Amino acid sequence: MRPPSVGPSEAVSKLDIPTTQTTNSETPRTTSSNQYRIRLWGIISGLCVIYLLCALEGTVLITSLPSIAAELNLGNHFVWVNNVFSLSAAVVIPSCGQLADFFGRRWVTLGIVVVYLVGSVICGAAQNASMLIIGRTIQGMGSGGVEMIVPVVIADLVPLRQRGNYMALVLGIFAVGTILGPFIGGIIVQTTTWRWIFYLNLPICGTGLVILFMFLRVGHNRETSSTQKLKRVDLTGAFLLILASVAVLIALTYGGSRYKWSSPHIIAPLLLGIIGLILYMLFEGSRFCRQPMTPLRLFNSKSSVVLSINTFINALLLQWATFFLPLYFQAILGSRPSISGVQLLPSVLMAIPGAAVAALVLSKFGKYKLLHLCGFALITVGLGLFSLLNPHSSTAAWVGFQLIAAAGSGMVFDSLLPAFQAGQAETDQAAATATITFLRCFANTWGFAIPTAIFNTQIEHGLHNIENTDIRKALSRGQAFQHATSEFVTSLSPATQEQVRELFNKALSRVWRYSIAFAAVALLLVLLEKEVPLRKELETEYGLETISERNKDSSVTDVSNYSA
């Protein structure tokens, strides 16, 4: 996710801020232009702050995970530090979408941030692998909720045609966090304890909570009791989704490292997971599901299906590149963690103009298919070029290759959600957003597990080329990733260094070649997309709340000092 950085004044000049929101009721809400702007920008500011959390957490571990794995002696359990984060983020998203529809956006958003804060505290205080993984699980639940609720709130306040500019504002902060994440992670690991990677989230969470408590006051259905709403939550669907996702993740995590892919230990959970996902979708479309988390009507067109698949592939490839480029910089080029964070800057910085182009095209022309064609073409070429990198590649090569792939990623990432939303009714915007966000987070799990499995498999096949038996043992059975650091490699004798670097390079080259196939499939699927006009009007019951509506809820205290 690499958005353009657009200033507030620029965005306001491009948009006519709506002062009337059409709702499902007969009487429209009206507010003065100045009051609307103050309240709207208060909400946008809060969303920027909590999105900064996701940005930092998404990249801060890139350069520091090998060091954390070594200090806590995670062994081949290191993969779970990232996987449980992505898994818990993914499985909680559909339920968060339902809760936001039933109970409104305000308290669900505040609760999500609190969950994230608790997870960060546990991670920072972790004394062993189990505690760290538990903390990452809780933290992932908060992260998934944040990724879902931010575009949902913006969708409630801004018409579809204009959302690109507002998302650019929010995601501009995300870009800053993404840029700083790898560098901050590397500096923290080198200068102090890695625990500050998680403790940094605490003041950010606190700031976000205060701002959102003050300004995030939007409408919701108060006529239905809380008990009735809870009965409508799709617990069965959530249970099926969690079990299926965990089963798939177990297979992807241990396949090719602890067990062979042909082993029953891998085939059994993989099949159970796939069957579970199928059962989940069948249940969501059955008469037994009173209120589905993922309504099948969201996929009632070929274009919606294509956009869903490409959202998954794009997020998968983004995670793929994000975690394995630093491995190249540290293990093969010999860069320290902080320097590898700087070496990732071309990916982030070039994605910003790519996303800026997407936001401009969407808001001005309302077209997205050409963006997807160009974006996935650039991604395919960029990933292909990554496979050519080696210990002797020039700086110009790895910088240029990143620029190509990142430009495509920026063009695609933030244009997929509006394209999917365009084909859905306004009443389904929360469900549509939750579905796309779930696919992104679920893809993050695959985007780390699949290349890791490929990498581990190739390492196992090439270990016979390492003469030192102790080093062979250290890199076997899925332990190569945690040893892919400059500190480990430079501690070896010159001859062994050369052998290890060559082994890592061959494994990485294979990782990149597999990624090309995924990108090419996405490119071909774009041809099946149908261009749907982006709406210029807004109809929602979750717009900015009026004084009369707030007075109906005695539990809400007025601290924002505005009048409707």
pLDDT in tens, 131-173: 998 999 999 899 888 888 888 888 777 776 666 667 667 766 7
pLDDT on residue 62: 67
CA–CA separation, 97 and 291 (whole Å): 12
Asked if residues 93 and 144 have their Cβ atoms less than 8 Å apart, the reply is yes
- Single out the residue of 218, 213, 219 nearest to residue 559, CA to CA: 213
CA–CA separation, 465 and 254 (whole Å): 23
pLDDT on residue 354: 78
CA–CA separation, 252 and 444 (whole Å): 12
Which carries the bigger pLDDT value, residue 225 or residue 304? Answer: 304
Among the residue ranges 210-219, 313-322, 337-346, 526-535, the one predicted with the least confidence is 337-346
Mean pLDDT, range 482-499, rounded to an integer: 86
pLDDT band at 525, cuts 50/70/90? very high
What are the residues facing 21 on neighbouring strands?
Answer: 29
CA–CA separation, 24 and 27 (whole Å): 8
**Residue 530 pLDDT greater than 50, yes or no:** yes
pLDDT on residue 544: 54
**Residue 52 pLDDT greater than 90, yes or no:** no
- Single out the residue of 524, 89, 538 nearest to residue 315, CA to CA: 89
DSSP label at 537?
A: S
CA–CA separation, 197 and 194 (whole Å): 6
CA–CA separation, 154 and 159 (whole Å): 9
pLDDT on residue 172: 65
The torsion angles phi and psi of 255, rounded to 5 degrees, stand at: -65, 130
Largest CA distance in the chain: 79
CA–CA separation, 341 and 241 (whole Å): 35
pLDDT in tens, 62-110: 667 777 877 887 766 777 887 788 788 888 888 887 888 777 788 889 9
Write the CB contacts of 6 (distance below 8 Å, at least 6 apart in sequence).
165, 168, 169, 172, 356, 359
Average pLDDT taken over every residue of the chain: 80
pLDDT in tens, 510-521: 999 999 999 999
Which carries the bigger pLDDT value, residue 102 or residue 275? Answer: 275
Write the CB contacts of 300 (distance below 8 Å, at least 6 apart in sequence).
none
**Residue 20 pLDDT greater than 70, yes or no:** no
Burial class (CB in 10 A: 0-12, 13-18, 19+), 487: middle
Helix axes 105-124, 201-215, angle to 10 degrees: 170
**Residue 11 pLDDT greater than 70, yes or no:** no
pLDDT on residue 559: 34
pLDDT band at 309, cuts 50/70/90? very high
What tokens does 473 get?
């043992």
Mean pLDDT, range 98-123, rounded to an integer: 88
